[in-house]
Amino acid sequence: YRLQQVCQPEVYDICGVPSNQPRFIFSRIIGGEEAVPYSWPWQVSIQISNEHICGGAVLAKEWVVTAAHCFNSKDLWMVVTGLHDLTEQEYRQYIIHPSFNKTTMDSDIALLQLAKPLEFNHYVRPVCLPAKDEVIQPSTVCIVTGWGTHEEGMYKKLRQLEVPILVLDRCQTYYINLPSKVTQRMICAGFPLEEGKDSCTQGDSGGPLVCPSEDDSRFYTLHGITSWGSGCGRKSYPGVYTNIAFFVDWIKQTECPEAGESKSIVSSENLTTSGCIVIPLHRISPPEEQCFLLLLLCCLISKGWGR
């Protein structure tokens, strides 16, 4: 951790800020709508032989989060960032959560470590992580993005869809007769009484479900990863997502094992420092704020402030 990164922040390093402001039409349409280019700069496409297989989200310069069930083979995967100006990235390794169950789809989360760090710019930026065990309230309107499927195959341009978070107990009743059960480590979102308004597990798997921050709607936080459902946009079957808040500790420990007890300080400001995952500044709790202010004071002193 370097104090210089607090003193000289890069605008592209700030998590959860769209490059271009997203726009939504007033009437909801089947399959969502085409996204404004670069409005979701953390979205990635995970591909095999130039074919889109799953989505994912950029967390840091070397790390992408996606769904564990995407890696059911040992094919040569490629991560593509930038969406409209695509840039291929090779990966070093993928790490599946040790509790992932491919039958129940519980703990459906994996991390991809890239072979080379990304260069954050107008097209590629990280998304914010939620606080540990943060609860996203039912009826909150969030956004799911991906290429999905329609009658003629995959959409060629990134799509977006606003979906409301559903009460978990009610969501469990929709899937009560299926082998996969909705657990506390999952989130349900969508329109169970309407057809065609959902993320599709064919092609959207691993893609992000982001919600505007309650503290500052300019910031988007990653709350879910597209995981499973019954079909694509079928009535009575809302989309089911991995609940990111349950896995924040695992993500941090996996990506920054050397940080140890100090990683909470690293997570107290809104930059991706040393490739580690961070929580935006507006989410800092009072004890963390004191640590951050002390760190900032040291930074100012090191720069000769007050001389």
Instruction: Please identify every residue annotated as catalytic.
Output: 69, 108, 205
Contact 76, 68 (CB under 8 A): no
- DSSP secondary structure letter of residue 293: H
Bridge-based pairing of strands 149-150 and 186-189 is unpaired
Phi, psi torsion values for 60, nearest 5 degrees: -155, 180
Tokens of 258: 């050397």
Report helix, strand or coil for 249.
Answer: helix
Cβ burial 43-78 (10 Å sphere, 16+ → b, else e): bbbbbeeeebbbbbbbbbbbbbbbbbbbbeeeeebb
Residue type, 21: Q
Given a contact cutoff of 8 angstroms between Cβ atoms, the answer to whether 87 and 81 are in contact is yes
Written as one string, the DSSP assignment of 165-190 is: B--HHHHHHHTTTSSS---TTEEEES
Phi, psi angle pair for 170, to nearest 5°:
-70, -40
Residue 241: beta bridge partners? 187, 226
- For 280, the token pair is 């935006």
User: In angstroms, rounded to a whole number, what is the distance separating the alpha carbons of residues 116 and 137?
Assistant: 37
104 close to 88: Cβ distance less than 8 angstroms: no
